[in-house]
Structure 1
Amino acid sequence: MPIPSAMDFTNPYASARSAVLGRNVVSTSQPLAAQAGLRMLLAGGNAVDAAIATAMALTVVEPTGCGLGSDGFAIVWDGKELHGLNASGRSPAAWSADRFAGHGAMPDKGWEAVTVPGAVSAWSALSRRFGRLPFTALAAPAIDYARNGFAVSPVIAHLWALGGARLGEQPGFAECFLPDGRAPRAGELFRSEAHASTLEAIAESHGEAFYRGAVAQRIAAHARAHGAALTEDDLANHRADWCGTLAQPFAGSVVHELPPNGQGIAALMALGMMEALGIGNQPPDHVDTVHLSIEAMKLALADLHQYNADIDAMQIPPSALLAPAYLAERARLIDRHRAADPGHGAPKPGGTVYVATADASGMMVSFIQSNYMGFGSGVVVPGTGVSLQNRGHGFSLEQGHANQVGPAKRPSHTIIPAFAMHADGTPQMAFGVMGGPMQSQGHVQMALRVLHYGQNPQAAADAPRWRVTGGRKVAVEPNFDADVVRELAARGHEVTVERGNGVFAFGGAQLVYKRGDSYVAGSDPRKDGQAVAF
């Protein structure tokens, strides 16, 4: 099979890691989880089996980004067509705007931030439709890590300590995550028999125990004990939805994201504006390239904030936000030499973990799951290891807003998987950049580097990143070219060089690119992870 496109295998950036190549590959943010997925491929499983096993293991070995109480999304290339899965949960049926009257914003911790967790339903739905191995086999590595212990990795240990300081007083948190009264340090073994037992119940029931069985009953009982609204019926009524994808041509490829409630549409809008501007005449790290990317992203995020919501509640359809004429109109607002502080347009009506896997049959998976804000709500159901997300914080309290909090409704969501296809309809790349509001911005930067400039996935993951933070404000990493920083400031950008742990601010990328009969993978050095292959 001919190699479809040229790729630069040099890496001029900080980590100087080499890309990983193979015919079967897993890329994620924690090595033990990556190996869990690889074990499934070695056992005859496919890319979906590998993604699920990796995701299950991540709830154990990277609890700072996800848990059994996470939400999940996926894009799957099954060898013939692309499929999108939205397994994010909905708000409790008893939630209303009145319930949160007097709040300045939706709560970000405690039971009042918890919506129905969807990740377990994602695992089950993916396995039933595409999996090859028994569901119980997929859970085996995660159960082993939980029951027999694993050595905590360095970045995760740091995030664990920060999460414990913030959430240690939340119900059930200390019992589960602060053995001996503190977070485990890097290299220390951590065990959780409760987590292992719950994983076994999930595996043996194909997820039913979590939504309609013993685990669901324990979640709902804990909610009642703390005056929360979540009930057995809320859990039993949850469903994961096969939803297709939205697409945007870019650099001779087509980038796919899931429809709202996720923020992926913002990445597509920014890429569409960048295409309209003819971006790419200068190198990827040139000030002109960075400036136009930032300006397009700001316009897209303004529209995202105004319009994004549960797709059933959106007042403007996604197709209107992605209409070529609308994106060209928005692109015309961009001054090539001056930073702006844009508002939303008026289209005509019309703490996360990420996994990329691929196998020798051609199947590729882009999967993401998250508790949000690290450990999420901080609530952990006693005796279960179920740490619950805080996705309720994603709702708006603005009266009449499409994303206003309400009953049985999905909030606007930060986590998004992405996928790129060649223009001829063949698969090209599964990719994602975990990290809250950084995610759509990270997708834009990865797509630009790999699809437009031909950088290999590891170089793209290593490259310094920028992040729009509001108004004319933009943050950059310390290794950003100082001359570019000065030139951005001269154009009116209010630039902050952010030091410290890049995972918080600039996310963690994982990418798997199909190249002929094999794959090229990269894993972000800002996290503990790795790409593994054979």
Structure 2
Amino acid sequence: MRRKGRLLAVAAFLVLLNASPGMGLAQPQPGSDTPFGKPTADVPNPGVNNEAVPATRPAGYLDQTRSEVLARNGIAATSNPLATAAAERILLDGGNAIDAAVAASATLGTVEPMSTGMGGDLFAIVWSAKDKKLYSLASSGWAPKAWTVDYFKNTLGVDEVPSRGINSAVIPGTVSGWDALLKRFGSMGFREVLEPAASYAEDGFPIHEVMHGQWRSAVNSLREDPDSAKTWLPGGQAPELYSVFRNPDMARALRLIQKNGRDAFYKGEIARAVVAKSEAAGGVIALDDLARYQSEWVTPLSTEYHGYRVHQLPPPGQGFAALEMLNVLDVCAPRLGFDLAALGPRDPQYWHLLIEAKKLAYSDLHRYNADPTFDPPPLDRLLSKEYAATLCDRIDPGRATPPEIDGTDMGSTVYFATADRWGNMVSLVNSNYSGFGSRVTIPGYGFVLANRGSGFTLDETHPNVVEPRKRPFITIIASFITKDDKPVMAFGNMGGGTQPQAHAQHVVNMIDHGMNVQATTDVARFDHSQENDVTSLDTYLYDLVGPKLQEMGHRLNRANGHAGGYQGILFEPDPRLPTPILPKDTGPRTGDAYERPVNGVYRAGSDRRKDGHAGGW
């Protein structure tokens, strides 16, 4: 009883002490205005207030954000966790890497609608385990038949193709690309692979951090189209961070494609809705423009870099600029007395050489790139080592040189990679071009048309001049690396004009500097604009090498989170393991073919500049 009495007395004293001002015990302090990172009206993204020091890793590169993801049965690396999960779901159900890629593409069009969707364009490189070779699919949209220079200059009264609105929209290639991939290499149909995307559109999905910022930046332009405002701006604003967004109209479109296939989009009621919207908005898209559209299987381009072969898609994509840039670095760096591996990425001279090589490659890109059906670029010459040698004298080792040819660099894209237990690998890029594309939404079907038409020029002397049913200069590219005709890696980097220069930087990082598949994206990279000759550098890189580069004549910009977003999957074969058993074209998805993992390990990485991650098992 004495002990109980003492405890009661102490408790009473503490209550009295806390109630008495100035008696020695501190008053409770208020917590954060945004506990657990919950946004408020005044602070829509609480992450901006985090001033904590970054952590380090216990092994390897200290600032690497995470380990590579390793798997043997199936793996995907995308810019959104829901898309990675959709691809894994298909792989777990017995689908192959191609099925998973289409599922990821459709899901990204649902959950990352500012970047991609069924109204956009698609390119893919597929490693076929059965054929042991690469295939490339080009599914970029073409111009309506009524598009001519006269149409824009005299009918519309403009001196360039608009950057948004219905007269920036070409015929979409995405759905045709899905169909082409599934028919040639898939083991599933639209009903299965579009189910994750359709479910997310119907049930809703949460708004991730990076996506939220991109959505908010497009609010004013989305208000220009009533159907866009109705679809994308609930309550007149962008969805809040962590809120749930639903798109029942997009679900309706996906369900129609599940039921009726490709024709639902290009010949059926979705096609009729696209034409009706075009007419209402002052455009000239016709039913025949949609009905006649077809994707193309094309021959990939490649060059050798330090024992590896790097592959890109051909024009009108800009992939050949990455190959030319690598050739210039390969040939010119030693001729100028430099070794990139020895210099390393802490030396200003290293960045000077990369930036100057980029300017040379992009000058040729903007001089020649066009739809090869109309005016093929001289690729045999541009991609030869001999041609690269002729460019070495244009690099001043001590001084920045302005680019000879400029060009626009905008873009909003998704890139991702998938791989399966049989050894199939897919490198795929899908895009609306700029955020929410043309900002023109198809009513009742919940998707925007891409504004890829703004990639054309009205200069009749240029190979990229607008013409009926021609494909414009397109920024999106997918890449693949092989060695001795065997698969090494599927990788890519989204972000308009960022892409070829980022591809080259990743190749140098991994081959010359020995970085792993995750580390290459966790390090800083440069992003040079050919349009205004300004180079953006990540903040810490700017502080390290910026002053010296400015002394050399470079115009610089300090940037955070720039240079797009990367994903990559590398295959590490193990000759001690049994080779996979390829499944039969028909029959149940059971047996040894669906149980034996690949004869090696997949290693995947994903960019912290985006919301996504890699996942596998």
Please say whether Structure 1 and Structure 2 have the same fold, judged by a TM-score greater than 0.5.
Answer: yes
Give runs of aligned pairs for residues 91-130 of structure 1, distance below 5 A. 91-101=143-153, 102-130=157-185
Matched to 1:130, the amino acid is F
Counterpart for residue 160 of structure 1: 215
2:117 counterpart (67, 83, 99)? 67
1:374 is aligned to 2:457: no
Distance across 2 between alignment mates of 1:205 and 1:169: 32
Report the CA distance between 1:320 and its aligned residue.
Answer: 2.0
The gaps in structure 1 that reach 5 residues or longer are 1-8, 346-350
Instruction: Please give the per-residue CA displacement for 1:37-82, whole angstroms capped at 9, x wherever unaligned.
Output: 0001111111111111000000110011012201000000012000
Aligned partner of 1:510 in structure 2 is 567
Distance 1:324 1:483 in 2: 33
Pairing 1:118-517 to 2, within 5 Å after superposition? 118-276=173-331, 277-278=333-334, 279-314=340-375, 316-343=377-404, 351-422=412-483, 424-470=484-530, 472-480=533-541, 482-499=543-560, 502=561, 505-516=562-573, 517=600
Cα 1:116/1:285, change in 2 over 3 Å: farther
Query: Aligned partner of 1:312: which letter?
Result: T
Matched, 1:19 2:102: no
Deviation of 1:492 (Å): 1.6
Q: CA deviation at 1:453?
A: 1.8
Question: What SS is found at the alignment partner of 2:464?
Answer: coil
Most deviating of 444-453 and 227-236: 444-453
| 1:37 counterpart (44, 68, 87) | 87
Which amino acid is the alignment partner of residue 76 of structure 1?
V
CA drift of 1:154 comes to 1.2
Partners of 2:308 and 2:468 in 1: CA distance? 39
**Quick one: distance in 1 between partners of 2:199 and 2:396?**
55
> Secondary structure at 2:605's aligned position in 1?
strand
Q: Measure how far apart 1:104 and its partner are.
A: 3.7
Q: Which 4+ residue blocks in structure 1 deviate beyond 3 angstroms?
A: none
Letter aligned with residue 512 of structure 1: I
Q: How far did residue 313 of structure 1 move?
A: 2.5
Length, aligned pairs only: 515
SS class of match (1:261) = coil
* AA at the equivalent of 1:284: P
Task: State the identity as a percent.
Answer: 41
The alpha-carbon deviation at position 491 of structure 1 amounts to 1.7
1:521 aligns with 2:604: yes
Residue type matched to 2:189 in 1? P
The residue type equivalent to 2:564 in the other structure is: G
Which structure has more relative contact order (CA 8 Å, sep 6+)? It is: 1
Distance in 2 between residues matched to 1:524 and 1:158, nearest whole Å: 17
Distance, in Å, in 2 between the alignment partners of 1:454 and 1:133 is 38
Q: Distance in 1 between matches of 2:150 and 2:107?
A: 39
Match of 1:3 in 2: none
C-alpha distance in structure 2 between counterparts of 1:20 and 1:527, whole Å: 17
Q: Which AA in structure 2 matches 1:88?
A: S
Shift of 1:531: 0.4
SS of the aligned residue for 1:371 comes to: strand
Preserved CA contact (<8 Å) 2:136 2:298: yes
2:142 alignment partner in structure 1: 90
Relative to structure 1, the CA distance from residue 177 to residue 335 in structure 2 (aligned partners, 3 Å threshold; closer, same or farther) is same
Q: Which letter does structure 2 place at the counterpart of 1:452? A: D
Identify the range of structure 1 (179-188 vs 82-91) with the bigger mean alpha-carbon deviation: 179-188
Compared with structure 1, are the counterparts of its residues 229 and 285 closer, same or farther at alpha carbon in structure 2 (3 Å cutoff)? farther
SS state at 2:151 partner:
helix
> Would the aligned equivalents of 2:370 and 2:377 in 1 still touch at CA under 8 Å?
no
Partner-residue secondary structure (3-state), 1:354:
strand
Using the TM superposition, give the Cα deviation of residue 481 of structure 1 relative to its aligned residue in structure 2, in angstroms.
Answer: 5.3
User: In the aligned structure 2, how far is the partner of 1:314 from the partner of 1:419?
Assistant: 26
Distance in 1, matches of 2:451 and 2:488, equals: 33
SS in 1 for 2:435: coil
TM-score normalised over the length of structure 1: 0.94
CA contact (8 A) 2:413 2:431 kept: yes
Question: Retained in 1: the 8 A contact 2:166–2:278?
Answer: yes
Partners of 1:519 and 1:513 in 2: how far apart? 6
What letter corresponds to residue 84 of structure 1 in structure 2? S
Letter in 2 for 1:98: D
Computed over aligned residues only, the root mean square deviation of the Cα atoms, in angstroms, reads 1.5
CA distance in 2, matches of 1:343, 1:313: 25
In 2, Cα distance between equivalents of 1:64 and 1:421? 33
What amino acid maps onto 2:607 in structure 1?
D
* 1:19–1:458 CA contact under 8 A, matched in 2: yes
Name the larger-Rg structure.
2
Q: Secondary structure at the match of 1:281?
A: helix
